[in-house]
Amino acid sequence: MKEGRNTAGALGLVLGHPFDTVKLLGFFKGMSFPLVSIAVVNSVLFGVYSNVLLALTAMSHQERRTQLPSYTHVFIAGCTGGVIQTFFLAPFDLIKVRLQNQTEPRVQPGGPQPRYRGPVHCAATIFREEGPRGLFRGAWALMLRDTPTLGLYFVTYEGFCHQNTPHGQNPSSATVLVAGGFAGIASWVAATPLDVIKSRMQMDGLRRREYQGVLDCVVSSFRQEGLRVFFRGLTINSARGFPVNAVTFLSYEYLLHSWG
């Protein structure tokens, strides 16, 4: 009896396995592009941030626990990280926005071919149709969005950690998670108006050019849609910002400690 059940269980598993695999692969399909992009961009951002802070304060990460760096230094280091990461983020972000805004996102047999068939094809097509500079379309708006808001991001993080950690100690994992989450929300709330503009600039140039530049895009979006346009996606950005940045900062702290 027991034997029979085990065999049945094993058989079920064997039969079910291909389905599970397909399901899993389907579930994570399309994840390699964001994964590569986030790995590159976050290493640049956090690398620049910690090195600039190191240069400004002449203190190691561990020493800074007992002697908090000034928020001005944290802000400057965050802004510098923001400027440098823009060069890396711009093409990745452009490709993401272009792919997300496709009207025929899927290739269907016999149906119309989508303009971009995937991230690599998208990059090659932009390069061909819009030139190498085309890959940096919207980069100014992106830099304007990210420079001050990444300063704010790190100030929020360090401030929250400092306030909730006994003097001289390392913040607990729970504190790091909440501080990272709040940093994500604060920076996304501040970044949302320029995020709307950035995405519009990135989509511009696909057919005819609609905007003359960032300012023109701000003015004409405001004229056509009112003040509300600058708050588009605010809720979703914040809701996503909390968990994403909680985990980001937890891994950052973990790596800092394991590398010594």
Ligand X SMILES: C[N+](C)(C)CCCC[C@H](N)C(=O)O
Q: Which residues bind ligand X (CB under 6 A)?
A: 145-146, 149-150, 153, 184, 187-188, 191, 241, 244-245
Residues ≥6 apart with Cβ < 8 Å to 213: 140
Closest CA to 213 of 154, 158, 137: 137
With respect to ligand X, which residue has the nearer C-beta, 50 or 245?
245
Nearer to ligand X, 36 or 107 (CB): 36
Q: Residue 175 or 187: which CB sits closer to ligand X? A: 187
Closer residue to ligand X (CB): 40 or 59: 40
Question: How many Å apart are CA 205 and CA 6, to the nearest integer?
Answer: 62
Q: Which is nearer to ligand X, 11 or 255 (CB)?
A: 255
The nearest distance, CB 220 to ligand X, in angstroms, is 23
Taking the CA atoms of 123, 128, 132 and 134 in sequence, report the sign of the dihedral they define.
negative
Shortest CB 244 distance to ligand X, Å = 5
Nearest distance, CB of residue 151 and ligand X, angstroms: 9
Output 114 or 148, the one with its CB closest to ligand X. Answer: 148
Distances (CA, A) of 55 to 12, 44, 48, 60, 99: 60, 16, 10, 10, 39
In the bound complex, what is the minimum distance in angstroms from residue 159's beta carbon to ligand X?
A: 16
Whose CA is closest to 219, among 207, 232, 210?
210
Report CA-CA distances (Å) from 9 to 1, 16, 55, 84.
Answer: 12, 10, 61, 55
Comparison of 25 and 146: residue with beta carbon closer to ligand X? 146
Give a three-class secondary structure readout of 1-47: CHHHHHHHHHHHHHHHHHHHHHHHHHHCCCCHHHHHHHHHHHHHHHH
Residue 145 CB neighbour total at 10 angstroms:
24
3-state DSSP assignment of residue 94? helix
* Least spacing, CB of residue 162 vs ligand X, in Å: 20
Residue 149 Cβ vs ligand X, minimum distance, rounded to whole Å? 4
In whole angstroms, the minimum distance from the beta carbon of 135 to ligand X comes to 19
The Cα 218–Cα 193 span in angstroms is: 9
